[in-house]
Amino acid sequence: MARIICICNQKGGVGKSATAINLASYLAAMSRSVLLIDTDPQANATSGMGIKAKREAENLYHTLLGQICIDNIIRKTKIFGCDIIPSCPDLAGTTVELIEADQREFRLKKSLESIKSQYDYILIDCPPSLDLLTINGLVAAKEVLIPVQCEYYALEGLSQLLNTIDLVKENLQENLEILGIVLTMFDRRNRLSHQVAKEVRRHFPGKVFEAVIPRSVSLAEAPSFGQSILQYAPESKGAKAYRLLAKEIIELEEKRKVNFSI
Ligand code: ATP
Ligand code: MG
């Protein structure tokens, strides 16, 4: 069964989509089969993977509305082992359209039932809000990965996110857990970056990944070429950081297996 990881932070521009794209790519490069789901109508993860988000006849919107089976909307990416469910402009209407629908928070979870055995990892890139699309992502997932930008307001909004995660656990998905926090856009020449990183580690001991994603020109440029950092600049510091993150996430899985079998 796939490990389903929701990449979530309602704060905008913290590196959710960059993390989704690059983590998906490195997990695939490490021989894992990966499905990346872009639930953000902005479609940054979709375009960053080199896929055009167009208003197709069959898309995630129709699947969430129960009109089309999820198998029909999975597409291949240029990265071997990594598939994608692209975003589409229609998704912007989903929150409103589902407002009175039955089981509206469980739509994505239900859709994934039939395909989750086909993948090792399913990564969900969320929009920058705590709306119904994000809630669908959290309910469908088992784990939440929270990118936190090494900037002054980094911790602002994090308590609201943690409250939402608690509410989802209490009411909708009791098995949801926080996989960890990944520090993004770290600038080692900037004292503030170091302070924020320290502060986040102090607040969340044991929950912050060793891999710290640097602020890097290559990471900023790659999406405009529709490429992950693995394709665009595999020797860059940003590439190394995302590779390390993928490795840490895989290792956590291995550790759990060991604990389970003891
Ligand atoms: P949104 O909330 O709008 O969905 P997001 O949290 O998904 O944003 P990204 O789109 O990944 O954030 O990143 C925001 C911007 O910063 C993008 O232009 C992206 O290319 C750039 N970026 C992401 N990570 C880095 C990085 N480590 N170094 C430099 N630029 C980055
Ligand atoms: Mg995004």
79-116 confidence digits (pLDDT tens): 999 999 999 888 999 988 898 889 999 999 999 999 99
Q: Give the separation between CA 218 and CA 13, rounded to whole angstroms.
A: 16
Q: Give the separation between CA 170 and CA 164, rounded to whole angstroms.
A: 10
Residue nearest to atom 10 of ligand 1 (CA): 17
Average pLDDT in the 162-169 region?
Answer: 95
Q: Give the separation between CA 22 and CA 218, rounded to whole angstroms.
A: 12
More reliable by pLDDT, 253 or 63: 63
What do you get for the CA distance between the two ends of the chain, in Å? 21
Choose the residue to mutate in 8, 14, 124 for probing ligand 1, maximizing ligand atoms within 8 Å of C-beta.
14
Judged by its nearest atom, the ligand closest to the C-alpha of residue 213 is 1
User: What letter does residue 2 receive in the DSSP assignment?
Assistant: P
Q: How confident is the model at residue 261 (pLDDT cuts 50, 70, 90)?
A: low
Strand partners, 182: 147
Q: Give the separation between CA 262 and CA 257, rounded to whole angstroms.
A: 9
SS3 94: helix
Among candidate residues 31, 144, 157, 42, the one with its CA nearest the CA of residue 89: 42
Asked if 6 contacts 143 with a C-beta cutoff of 8 angstroms, the reply is yes
- For the record, the structure tokens of 181 come out as 């926090």
